[in-house]
């Protein structure tokens, strides 16, 4: 079911006429000529649309709050600072259907009383920027942006602001500071951007996918939209499928679809027919769900209840060969690099979490470390300033909760069940099976294997770098992995 992606891959994104042929800009026309600002907001509120950036805040309510603040100047901001590893739905929308975002920003501007829209887009998306620029230029030429749009007295124009690709700038207060030319650091809310945002003026910030859904809601009506989805999460959500899945790509499904349908029916199952282990949703702020959750309908509230979150919609599928401790470590490393360093729990707490995880993957962990990770994670969650810190321990907590036995295997038995943590591996030669063919000896890159021809060989563990070449080369299965 494609709503946000309705035109992606079907129209030429660089031709405004093709967008217009698909009822493009008619939602804006309808709002300007038939609906009052209040009626338009009511339509969005009735539709039940919630923010697609991850938070899930009701969009109509946000618009209403911004509208009700008295100010001479207001702003509409589109958050296109997509930063989750493995998520690329916003990029696809901007590359495939930029006009839908422009139209929705103009509708939002009309509702809240703003005449300027700003798109905060990361400079790493050159093609999306290019297409957006072309689209804005064409909309201006056609008079769909600018002064007196469609013969009314509504004025609206859009400018671009480039981000340098910092994850924290997806947080709305940090995003606004970055647009103002300040450091991209979050500040305490309230005041919310709806009251005091860009340049201290009321600012409505929405995500790309949220905006892309708006014109359809206006054209088709709130009642059409709110019939799709679950009780509290209406409409559809785009997910970016990545990882060990056969059909990597974007899927847009109604809220309430199960993970099993997305991964097996649409995604084509796991690569090489391996065993499904977990799916990571919500990026660095989300968590890992086990196969017990495969039949859980996906919506905002169910994912939170399951210990993860919707996030922007990245879905990374993990199979039996993935080590959950290493996965938690990977996300922690990401947050560590992306933390702005303003508040102590996030800056220092995440560093300590990362160190404990490294210790475990290197085989030096002790049982108490698991509890230590839990306690520290909860402290970071409770005391960090912004969403980045408050959610950064989620990958750690969810992997401990769902895969505690794997952590225990690392610290108690000194083993990595998935065979990923190199320090915990040991390659050995089984004497009885070794024929002394010298193949491993000749292929070992560090000269760790010794032995005479036709005599059993030996691996010097102090030299071995655990590259696994000998294991792959041996024709007699004489090398074991412990």
Residues forming the site for other proteins (CB under 8 A)? 1-3, 5-15, 17-18, 20-21, 23, 25-26, 29, 32-33, 88, 91-92, 95-97, 125, 127-128, 141-144, 150-151, 216, 220, 246-252
Looking at the DSSP bridge assignments, the partners of residue 162 are: 121
* Closest approach of other proteins to the CB of residue 134, in Å: 12
Q: Toward other proteins, which CB reaches closer, 126 or 445?
A: 126
Strands (E), 290-410: 314-319
* Closest approach of other proteins to the CB of residue 268, in Å: 8
* Closest approach of other proteins to the CB of residue 331, in Å: 23
* Closest approach of other proteins to the CB of residue 2, in Å: 5
Q: Angle of helix 98-112 relative to helix 59-68, nearest 10 degrees? A: 40
How far, in Å, are 180, 198, 208 from residue 201 at the CA level? 12, 6, 21
CA nearest to 81, candidates 346, 312, 249: 312
CA nearest to 184, candidates 201, 200, 165: 165
CB 396 within 8 A of CB 371: no
CA nearest to 430, candidates 460, 452, 458, 411: 458
* DSSP-derived secondary structure for 378-411: HHHHHH-SSHHHHHTTHHHHHHHHH-HHHHHIII
- Beta-carbon contacts of 27 under 8 Å, excluding residues fewer than 6 positions away, are 103, 104, 107, 214, 215, 216, 217, 218, 219
* Closest approach of other proteins to the CB of residue 15, in Å: 8
Count the neighbouring beta carbons within 10 Å of the beta carbon of residue 267: 24
Q: Toward other proteins, which CB reaches closer, 104 or 478?
A: 104
Q: Toward other proteins, which CB reaches closer, 6 or 74?
A: 6
How far, in Å, are 140, 160, 180, 287 from residue 387 at the CA level? 36, 25, 20, 15
* Closest approach of other proteins to the CB of residue 269, in Å: 12
Q: Toward other proteins, which CB reaches closer, 63 or 239?
A: 239
Q: Toward other proteins, which CB reaches closer, 20 or 458?
A: 20
How far, in Å, are 173, 310, 470 from residue 189 at the CA level? 8, 22, 57
Q: Toward other proteins, which CB reaches closer, 249 or 417?
A: 249
Q: Toward other proteins, which CB reaches closer, 169 or 251?
A: 251
d(CA 403, CA 409): 10
Q: Toward other proteins, which CB reaches closer, 225 or 427?
A: 225
CB burial string 367-386: b at 16+ within 10 A, e below: eebbeebbebbeebbeebbb
* Closest approach of other proteins to the CB of residue 137, in Å: 10
Q: Toward other proteins, which CB reaches closer, 102 or 421?
A: 102
Q: Toward other proteins, which CB reaches closer, 20 or 195?
A: 20
Q: At residue 380, what are phi and psi to the nearest 5 degrees? A: -60, -45
d(CA 357, CA 13): 45
* Closest approach of other proteins to the CB of residue 32, in Å: 8
């Amino acid at each position: 079911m494609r709503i946000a992606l309705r035109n992606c891959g079907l129209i030429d994104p660089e031709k405004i006429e093709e967008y217009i042929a698909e009822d493009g800009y008619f939602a804006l026309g309808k709002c300007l000529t038939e609906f009052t600002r209040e009626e338009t907001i009511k339509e969005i509120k009735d539709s039940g649309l919630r923010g697609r950036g991850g938070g899930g805040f009701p969009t109509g309510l946000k618009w209403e709050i911004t509208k009700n603040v008295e100010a001479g100047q207001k702003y509409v901001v589109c958050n296109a600072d997509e930063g989750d590893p493995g998520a690329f739905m916003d990029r696809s929308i901007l590359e495939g259907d930029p006009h839908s975002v422009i139209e929705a920003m103009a509708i939002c501007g009309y509702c809240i009383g703003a005449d300027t829209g700003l798109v905060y887009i990361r400079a790493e998306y050159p093609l999306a920027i290019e297409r957006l620029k072309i689209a804005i230029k064409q909309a201006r030429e056609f008079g769909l942006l600018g002064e007196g749009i469609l013969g009314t007295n509504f004025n609206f124009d859009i400018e671009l602001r480039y981000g340098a690709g910092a994850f924290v700038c997806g947080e709305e207060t940090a995003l606004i500071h970055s647009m103002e030319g300040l450091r991209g650091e979050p500040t305490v809310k309230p005041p919310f951007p709806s009251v005091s945002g860009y340049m201290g003026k009321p600012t409505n910030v929405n995500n790309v996918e949220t905006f892309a859904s708006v014109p359809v809601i206006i054209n088709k009506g709130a009642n059409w939209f709110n019939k799709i989805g679950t009780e509290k999460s209406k409409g559809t959500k785009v997910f970016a499928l990545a990882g060990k899945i056969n059909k990597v790509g974007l899927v847009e499904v109604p809220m309430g679809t199960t993970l099993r349908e997305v991964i097996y029916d649409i995604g084509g199952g796991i690569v090489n027919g391996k065993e499904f282990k977990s799916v990571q949703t919500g990026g660095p702020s989300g968590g890992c769900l086990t196969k017990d959750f495969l039949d859980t309908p996906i919506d905002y509230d169910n994912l939170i209840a399951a210990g993860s979150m919707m996030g922007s919609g990245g879905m990374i599928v993990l199979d039996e060969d993935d080590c959950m401790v290493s996965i938690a470590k990977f996300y922690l490393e990401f947050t560590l690099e992306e933390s702005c360093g303003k508040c102590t729990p996030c800056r220092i707490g995440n560093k300590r979490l990362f160190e404990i995880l490294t210790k475990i993957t290197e085989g030096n962990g002790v049982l108490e470390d698991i509890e230590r990770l839990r306690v520290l994670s909860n402290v970071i969650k409770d005391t960090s300033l912004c969403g980045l810190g408050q959610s950064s321990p989620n990958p750690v907590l969810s992997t401990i909760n769902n895969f505690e036995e794997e952590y225990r295997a690392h610290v108690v038995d000194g083993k990595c069940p998935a065979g990923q943590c190199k320090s915990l591996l040991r390659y050995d030669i089984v004497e009885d099976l070794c024929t002394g063919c010298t193949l491993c000896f000749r292929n070992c890159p560090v000269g760790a294997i010794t032995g005479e021809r036709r005599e059993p060989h030996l691996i010097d563990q102090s030299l071995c770098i655990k590259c696994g070449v000998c294991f792959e080369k041996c024709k007699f299965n004489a090398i074991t992995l412990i």
